[in-house]
Amino acid sequence: MSSSVHHRRPASLASVACVLCKKRKRKCDGQKPCSTCKKYNNASNCEYPVDKDRRKWKHDSSYVDYLEVKLDLLEQFFNELNKSNPEKASFVREKLKIELPLMPAVASSTNPKLMQMANPKALDEFLSTAWRVRQYVQGGRTEFYGPISGRQQVLEEEELESSATPKDGKIDIILTSKGFRNELFDIFERNFSNFFYISSLTLPEIRNWDFPNKEANKQFLLCAIFAYASVYTNMKHVSSSFVLEAESVALAACRYSLDESTLQGLLILSCFELGMAYDSASWLFNAMCASQTQYLGLHLGDCATPFGAAIRQQQQSELVSRSPLKSAAFWSIVMQDRLITSFLGRGCRIQYFRILAPFYSPVIFNKSNPNYLSELVFTYHSRLWYIHDRSISQIYSFKARFLHNSHRMALLQQGVSSLKILYQSFPEDIKLNWNFLDSRVLMLHLSYYVVLLLLHRPYLSSFPEKFMEISIEQCVNASKVVDAYNKEYGFNNAPYFASYLILSCAMFDLFILANKDESLKPEAYRRMDIFITALLQFGKVWKRGYKDIHVLSVLADKWSVHYPFLKETSHLCDTQSFENFSNNNQFHTEFSSHMDNDVSDIEKQYENMHYFKEKMFDFDGDNMMDNSWV
């Protein structure tokens, strides 16, 4: 049959008309947008009803995305097989009778321009999304640190608890007199309660508790509070005594008196140990706190008790509630869980996909209320770190390494979009106002800049120019906040987690200094001076500050960065002991100013402590278990 017999549809006509052309019964050219939609100013709404095309079945976009991801995974799997076992790969190829194109080498995924400009060691350390285990030569000890911790390839000397702990484990009651304890409560309120709102709600009642206390949960919480607050004084050696006492009653409190006080004690101890750079102990207390929180069902919101949960039957009807106390307790614990997992680069103990409880919502609207600003900042601070964890967990997951670039970019866009929506929803009272600098507001904004920086970091290899500019912007903003905080309050009066925020920014500037682009270095040096000075001030209270300076110094050597100020500061931190070098000018006191108890009162307190320790392990489980708080 000759070709003249065939009467084909003109090539300019589409097999499926757009919605407008079909409605107007016009010929559609199949373009996006088509000529008809352009003519009638409908270009933005030009759509094609794929699902109604009866001539052939078409896949929707989600299924196409799935096939693309599946293809990427198969190709990368075959590539790995070809590298590790070429003989087996050849056998598979022959068996399947296929010729798969080999994937490019991993290094080629990094932008060539960035490869030329950056130090290879810095590039591998800073942009890696792999999870690594640090191996110590002596003793064969290993430690696990994730990619956002900044400590993966820095072997730090193992430190034991402070030798200042009394051998007999007793607390010097003279140093825990009523006047001194009130000072500790005030310090705790400024440096912890202002950031973890559960303590703001409970501290007024706790101030009236006896110390020593015969109830395990109360004694545990009081010791945790005093341990945290003591590091801000010139008698920080007593913090070890308080920690030792808290650890001695922790098990009894969890077993027989599991309530808000016990959870709060575990939370505070985890924060304390993290600030003192005892990562294993901090992780232990965080894991205990998270497990007990989920045991009580605080993560479930108003949902029903899950099948198999070991909760007493009579508690199920009142398992959870949206009361401010329970909500503040849960989201305070969640925020610490996010902070410690960022510090160490590990997975959260309360995973975001298990959380069904609603976010904490403010209940104080009177601006004259002392807790108004603390509650408002906590509301957004806890949400910020929740979004951070949800995004980072996906971006740094093992599966994300095998995703197509477009899908990895979608993860970033989703996280950035959530953060910006949250930032734009900030009320006026917690927006950054350089004429009114509040420590809580400054720390909130510093967290925001750091979270944005961490989200963009793994994408620098693919889009160096665009994301380098964004990251530098966040570092500039963070340096302004750090400088303002240090001048207004001093980082020797900062919460324990401030060091990680500063370290994250300093690592990025150190990466810039390892870069061959000289134009970026002068400002990077200026910002590094601000960050190192802040860490030095922070280290006067928390050992973590000195540790982070050491980490930066080691990385500078590895990345061939010449930075004398960092080297001198690191040497100063190494040669000075923590107790001798620490000197908080805000709080100086003489023992005599707090000795408001006479000798008989002190002896009575010792007797109460002795009685408590004797009875601590003789609790009647049936009588002592009180979960009415749940």
DSSP 266-321: HHHHHHHHHHTT-HHHHHHHHHHHHHHHHHTTGGGTTSPPPTT----GGGGGGS--
- List phi, psi (to 5°) of 464: -65, -45
Cβ neighbours of residue 95 closer than 8 Å, sequence gap 6 or more = none
Q: Which residue has the tokens 């051998």?
A: 167
Q: Poorest-confidence range of 249-258, 449-458, 618-627? A: 618-627
Cβ neighbours of residue 306 closer than 8 Å, sequence gap 6 or more = 300
- pLDDT mean across residues, the chain: 76
pLDDT at 437 over 80: yes
More confident residue, 244 or 309: 244
> What is the C-alpha separation between 22 and 40, in angstroms, rounded?
14
pLDDT at 382 over 90: yes
Inter-residue contact 211 to 222 (CB < 8 Å): yes
The two structure tokens encoding residue 17: 């008309």
Instruction: Find the angle CA(565)-CA(571)-CA(572) to the nearest 5 degrees.
Output: 90
pLDDT at 187 over 90: yes
Ordered by start, the domain boundaries in the chain are 10-52, 61-103, 159-358
pLDDT of the residue at 618 = 42
**230-234, 312-316, 394-398, 482-486: which is most confident:** 482-486
More confident residue, 125 or 559: 559
pLDDT digits (tens, 9 = 90+) for 467-508: 888 889 999 999 999 999 999 999 999 999 999 999 999 989
pLDDT of the residue at 108 = 39
Q: Give the pLDDT band of residue 150 (cuts 50, 70, 90).
A: low
Percent of the chain scored above 70 by pLDDT? 66
pLDDT at 620 over 70: no
10-52 is classed CATH 2.60.120: no
DSSP conformation class of 559: T
- List phi, psi (to 5°) of 37: -65, -35
More confident residue, 43 or 496: 496
DSSP conformation class of 288: H
More confident residue, 403 or 278: 278
CA neighbor of 326 nearest in space, from 13, 3, 630, 547 = 630
pLDDT of the residue at 613 = 43
Q: Quick count: other Cβ atoms within 10 Å of Cβ 566?
A: 24
pLDDT of the residue at 555 = 86
The interaxial angle of helices 216-230 and 260-275, nearest 10 deg, is 30
Inter-residue contact 246 to 266 (CB < 8 Å): no
AA identity, residue 366 = N
More confident residue, 268 or 145: 268
CA distances (Å), origin 481, targets 37, 42, 73, 107, 510: 51, 47, 43, 36, 19
AA identity, residue 110 = T
Q: Give the pLDDT band of residue 181 (cuts 50, 70, 90).
A: confident
pLDDT digits (tens, 9 = 90+) for 193-236: 999 999 999 999 999 998 888 899 999 999 999 999 999 988 87
Dump strand ranges (E) for 125-233: 132-135, 142-145
pLDDT at 535 over 90: yes
